[in-house]
Chains A and B, each alone.
Chain A
Amino acid sequence: MGGVKRSIIKMATFTGSMAPVLVLWLAMSLSGTWAVDKGNFKTCDQSAFCKRQRALKPGDSPYRALLETMELTNTRLTLQLINDNNKVRLLLELYRLQGNMTRVKINELKPLKPRFEVPDVLITEPSTEPLSLLSQDENGVVLSLGTESQRVIISARPFRLDIMEGPEVLMSLNSRGLLAFEHLRMRKDTFSYKVTSTVASVWDNIKRLFSSQAEPEGEKKEEADPANQAEKEEEEKVDGMWEETFKSHSDSKPNGPSAISLDFSLPGVEHVYGIPEHADTLRLKTTDNGDPYRLYNLDVFQYELYNPMALYGAVPVMLAHKAQRTTGIFWLNAAETWVDISSNTAGKTVFGKMLDYVQGSSETPQTDVRWISESGIIDVFIMLGPTPKDVFSQYASLTGTQSFPPLAAVGYHQCRWNYNDQEDVASVDAGFDEHDIPYDYIWLDIEHTDGKRYFTWDSHKFASPKEMLQALEDKKRKMVAIVDPHIKVDSNYKIHNEIRNKGFYIKNKDGGDYEGWCWPGSAGYPDFTRPDMRAWWASMFAYDQYEGTAENLYTWNDMNEPSVFNGPEVTMHKDAVHGAWEHRDVHNLYGLYVQMATAEGQIQRSGGVERPFVLTRAFFAGSQRYGAVWTGDNAAEWDHLKVSIPMCLSLGLVGISFCGADVGGFFKSPSTELLVRWYQTGAYQPFFRAHAHLDTPRREPWLFGPENTALIRDVVRQRYTLLPYWYQQFYHAYRTGEPIMRPLWVEYPQDPATFALDDEFLIGKDLLVHPVTEEGARGVTAYLPGKDQVWFDVHTFQKHNGAQSLYIPVTMSSIPVFQRGGSIIPRKMRVRRSSSCMTHDPYTLYVALNLQRTAEGELYIDDGHTFNYEKKEFIHRRLSFAKNMLSSVNLATDAEFSTGSWIERIVILGASKPSKVTLKTADGQESQLEFDFDASMSVLTLRKPGVNAGLDWNVMLQ
């Protein structure tokens, strides 16, 4: 859903009685075209702290490490840093964390008041490992980081931090001298400042009188004082330190400047990824000639592609990759953040690089990154890999893994703003049956409520929601209804009254309840940063509180950036107040908390038994623990289809695997070709939901003629046959933090040809997908990675060699998907109305042999919807093929679950013809299997092994 203008359309159409003045205002705001109005959002230059910080150029850092203040305990090192310009001292904390990570925290030694440290994102206080001192002199300190010949070198003057492994520098901090820390200060023109500064100088004089020996620090301080004073005066002249205005909005900044900044150098690195959410390429671009990438959760109306503007969510995690190593930087800060990237090889042509190489004059490629945040502290986790999967597990150990969704949520979702009433829902539901297309969830957008009062139903259009839900339940289908965090200010609305009476609303700078304009008109915003507020919110999902709901109703949290139509940049004023903190400090966390509380509500309503499913638009580091995200209000354009791939890949790299884009595009109306291609792409992305704007014509799959209905049916069915594989990938993501939809370089980290690929991707490690995203395409060129690797077209079973770019002719029915030789993928071929209808169905195993004629895969089965998997109620088996024998062995011997599913068929790709096939079951019984061999494609199909999928068995080819 979208920004301000969306409301306009809605209101103008549905409330003809609206005062003319209002309609006029609405009409004026509508005059825009189909592109983001960039003027509504700040550039770095318009964001005072970004401008200030970016004005600092690389050079010698004014910071010096005071080595004599160093304290080293078993778990941490602390050290003071001093800014030689203003004498403000900082406290550096350095930790060695388990799993090859280093944490660096920098705060003011004595801040005027506490600075915000992000809570609730780390799943636990990270475990530390001992640090040991290797050597120390007046220039610096060398510490050992455990066993792996890794060291940290702290240089004193200027302060700088280098992380080494052997002779190699992995990462340097403040090597470009861009560490900046705007200390909290009193405002000079206020009375209290004058008093304090007078007292301070008196105290300084007294101290000086009584100190027997002039300490060097003091001397320097005196020397520095005049300069310091001058600098301070200079500071005051810089605009935007104590007040800032943007358009008609002013930010009162009662705490003054508080920005922080730090640079990181990555020797040898030419590829960096992550820091979603941006509508940009997978590989991040250098930002020297434009704005930095911005992280600030915003409701951007009709966002523009391929630029660094902020979008709905923010995950301040960057991955840096080179052939030998992958590392990561997790900048734990929830305030507005900007990330600059520069590279010494950017702009060099391949020829230029070759010339460097030939002439031997090449400097090592290096990427430099700089993070700037508006408030809080520097708290950075340096994940040292060395492999991509190590980085995923390191990050997962900090912020957790993807929540394991109910199986149904991995199916297809049918959404539209809006399905108008119960009859509409019933007829769309019936349409799916009539056209034999499976789906699991039908969605209701904001119009289902009573006047945008969430937790309610429109009494005419949805007069009997329980009956509606029961009708869906009868087909084993489910529903999602939207619950947004803005609450209509209406004294007849229970939710509003309770929040107001409990004092749970976010406050404005003057202490009253903050009010903004959103879908319902004037709205309050609950303070989700409060645990008691979240607990109350969760309790509202109980069946006796949220009337008309049932077990098969789930939730969608939209507009949780938060979106405030009349706020600065369509969001909340930064000087709004969350208890002790300003909105400025917590902004990017808000959306995470909304989803957290909602998911908790869903868990609680079932007594902790059922898994929740909650979709969110805004997110932060850690949001993966609470459900799914989508890429917000995209448009029905080919470029939006294309960018859905890098957008979800980037999210996957930073832990958020359950990602998808609105199939068909939210704004505008897709051509039939685009819609079909989007279904084909979406079917192979983790979150598969079609959605459409209120103003667009209907686009249920059967509205475009029988041919296109068939194309869409076919690809949705492909999704459903692959649900066992998808579900196993989700389980794997939940266990390991590895992305489900992943860039090729994650699996082929040493193949530079994969590093920038973002028009194709892997699902897990065994399926490679190159969707058709070009209008009128006759073919696509897919890169199949891996020397000595083979790939099988999943539709034709044709075998292709790896490490080649392959041209694949395509028709409208083509979606190029390849199974890796060496893998085994379980499918369920009996596609039914919904995933739940397929629970007891048998499996077909697709065994794709590699050149060594081996293959491996897994099979994961559980009840599909409860938390009982945590109690070890599941089946997890390893399937392996070697020496002409396929066997199923238990991977989780301590787990127990029984299934009615059995092995229906085994398809072996790249096989030769056996003379005899023998099945041996756990009880030792042997039987011959019938088989069919297709010599032209080398495909061997074993007929009906019939053995239960949870048991041990093997099949011998002779």
Chain B
Amino acid sequence: FIILPPDMHFHMIIVAVFWFGFVDSRKIRGISSSYKRFFRERKSFLCIDGSKIIPFEQVNDDYCDCEDGSDEPGTSACPQGRFYCTNLGFRPHYIPSSRVNDGICDCCDASDEYNSHAHCQNACWNLGQRERAYVEGQMRTLDEGLQLKQQLIEEGVLLWREKQAQLRELQQVAEDLQTKLEERRSRKQEADRLKEQTPRPPEAGDGQNSTVTGTFKLLDSNKDGSITVDEVQAKVALVHDEERVLSEDEAVALLGGDHQMDLTTFQHTLWDILTNGGRVKVSALSNTFLFVFLSDLREKLAIDYGPDWEFLFLNSQCYKLKVYEYTYTLCPFNQVTQQSTAGTEVSLGRWGMWEGPPKNQYGRMVYENGEPCWQGGSRSTTVTLTCGTETALRSVKEPSKCQYIMDFQTPVACQPVLKQRGIHSEL
């Protein structure tokens, strides 16, 4: 295809007009074919809103007669008017009448500048090419994205089940602990009453294998499959008359002189100590941790991860992007941070909610209550999700102080509905 000069193009339109069976000897400038019926009568023109009848010579005579602007579709005379760009080869569209002959090329077919100093080239074919290429690319992305999304949905469902199982398990641990605690409390009360000095009964678990994993998981705060000194210190207490926190050395000792321990080792060493030793126990303090953890998990599972839990996989992920001197980190459903090259980290908000428009509810998420701002309020971030084959943070902007917007691309944002959009041209 070659780009036609504007005059050639004009002929082409006329040919096209004949082709479609509209037998008009005079073209009314600035209207779409669907409006031609209003201009068929050649003696007079009834304003489309029906307000006035004018002689047909006054149509497109560069003076606005109709309140609704309908008599001047091809000039700039009417303030409410609009001009139809046919844009053969690209997308037709309307522009406000005020852009007709204003010296700026608006229609890619240059039809809006028929009487101005602007030198407009017909760029529709090129634009069309580009648009088609773009749309094809989008389509490919969408196809690919939708496939990936399907996988992610499947994974999401599995993950969801797994998390639910974890929740149930932890709830079990919690209940057990609760029972033990109450038992101990009543025994202690009894003991106190009798003022007897008897060895303490085993605290956590009575060799029930089922809770080995549970306890291990409870101790393994960061869920990396091994427990560390910190984790032991956090949840295991030394019992004399009072509970007290373990020192680092004591914790290391409990871990068998090592700094971490996996489940298998745990089962054969620490688990025994915890169940039989009597001197250390999974602390009552850890109830707090446990319940915090539990409620945390419940909270997390209460989040809306989409109809098919397709956003669930984002939960434990973080995505980074460097913009000028700052590195931004988005941890979906958790928080957004900004780190300067100097290392200072600032919170740009914690997970708030989905805030997409009704048509695309999962199109936007909001993170709120970040670091406070100088003039009151706190930082917040709005994340727009767009369809892409990779999951990545694409851009970060701060249009107003302390209000960040992010463009976040992920296959799960791909919507089948997008597929129906595309180029459709009237001609």
Contacts and interface: CB of A to CB of B under 8 A. Distances in A.
B356 to A, nearest CB: 18
Interface stretch (B15-23, B143-151, B172-180, B396-404): B396-404
A474 B98 CA distance: 16
B374 A16 contact: no
Interface string A12-37: 11001100000000000010000000
B226 interface: no
B402 to A, nearest CB: 8
A829 B79 contact: yes
B157 interface: no
A474 B119 CA distance: 12
Given A830-B76, A943-B63, A13 B401 contact: yes
A363 interface: no
Contacts of A420: 397-399
Interface in B66-115: 76-77, 79, 96-99, 102-104
A230 to B, nearest CB: 57
B194 interface: no
Contacts of A475: 104
Contact of B98 (A9, A424, A436, A698): A436
A837 B103 contact: yes
A713 B79 CA distance: 13
B374 A30 contact: yes
A695 B399 contact: no
A13 B346 CA distance: 10
B193 to A, nearest CB: 58
A944 interface: yes
B8 interface: no
B2 interface: no
A905 B78 CA distance: 12
Contacts of A30: 374
How many B residues touch the partner, as a band? 20 to 34
Given A17-B340, A460-B324, A474-B104, A832 B99 contact: yes
A695 B401 contact: yes
Given A832-B102, A944-B63, A697 B342 contact: no
A13 B374 contact: yes
A896 B270 CA distance: 102
Interface in A794-850: 829-833, 836-838, 840-841
A696 B401 contact: yes
Contacts of B344: 16-17
Interface string A684-717: 0000000000111110000000000000000000
Contacts of A944: 61-63
Residue among A9, A30, A837, A905 with max Cβ neighbours from chain B (10 Å): A837
A16 B327 CA distance: 13
Contacts of A832: 76, 98-99, 102
A16 B346 contact: yes
Nearest to A427: B399
Nearest to B374: A9
B375 interface: yes
A694 B116 CA distance: 40
A875 to B, nearest CB: 20
B373 interface: yes
Contact of A830 (B98, B340, B342): B98
Nearest to B324: A460
Interface string A887-913: 000000000000000001100000000
A944 B324 CA distance: 57
Residue among A13, A460, A696 with max Cβ neighbours from chain B (10 Å): A13
Nearest to B345: A16
Given A16-B340, A830-B98, A695 B324 contact: no
Contact of A695 (B62, B103, B341, B374): B374
A732 interface: no
Nearest to B376: A695
Contacts of B397: 420, 424
B71 to A, nearest CB: 12
B67 to A, nearest CB: 12
A877 B98 CA distance: 27
Residue among A424, A831, A832 with max Cβ neighbours from chain B (10 Å): A832
A119 B84 CA distance: 61
Interface string A422-443: 0010000000000010000000
A115 interface: no
A830 B77 contact: yes
A9 B342 contact: no
A833 B79 contact: no
B342 A837 contact: no
Contacts of B102: 476, 832-833, 837-838
Contact of A694 (B63, B98, B324, B401): B401
A952 to B, nearest CB: 22
A223 B421 CA distance: 104
A398 B116 CA distance: 45
A470 B401 CA distance: 28
A396 B373 CA distance: 49
Contacts of B324: 460-461
A9 B377 CA distance: 14
A833 B99 contact: yes
A833 B398 contact: no
A833 B401 contact: no
Contacts of B97: 830
A831 B373 CA distance: 41
Given A17-B344, A837-B103, A831 B98 contact: yes
A182 B195 CA distance: 99
Interface string B358-377: 00000000000000011100
Interface string B334-346: 0000001110101
Contacts of A697: 400, 403
Contact of A476 (B62, B104, B399): B104
A6 to B, nearest CB: 10
A162 B65 CA distance: 66
Interface in A458-503: 460-461, 474-476
Interface in A752-769: none
B104 A837 contact: yes
B104 A695 contact: no
A695 B98 contact: no
Nearest to A428: B399
A17 B342 contact: yes
Contacts of A698: 399-400, 403
Nearest to B323: A460
Contacts of B342: 16-17
A722 to B, nearest CB: 14
Contacts of B76: 830, 832, 841
Contact of A833 (B98, B340, B403): B98
B66 to A, nearest CB: 12
Interface string B302-324: 00000000000000000000001
A12 B344 CA distance: 12
B399 A424 contact: yes
B57 to A, nearest CB: 11
A721 to B, nearest CB: 9
Contacts of B104: 474-476, 833, 837
Residue among B324, B346, B375, B397 with max Cβ neighbours from chain A (10 Å): B375
Given A17-B344, A833-B99, A695 B63 contact: no
A904 B103 contact: no
A12 B372 CA distance: 12
Contacts of A476: 102-104
20 contacts: A13-B401, A16-B342, A16-B346, A420-B398, A436-B98, A461-B324, A474-B104, A695-B374, A695-B375, A696-B400, A697-B400, A829-B79, A831-B79, A833-B98, A833-B99, A833-B102, A833-B104, A837-B103, A837-B104, A943-B63
State the 10 A-B residue pairs at the shortest beta-carbon distance, nearest first. Answer: A17-B342, A16-B344, A837-B102, A16-B340, A695-B375, A695-B401, A944-B63, A697-B400, A832-B98, A9-B374
Interface of B: 61-63, 65, 76-77, 79, 96-99, 102-104, 116, 324, 340-342, 344, 346, 373-375, 397-403
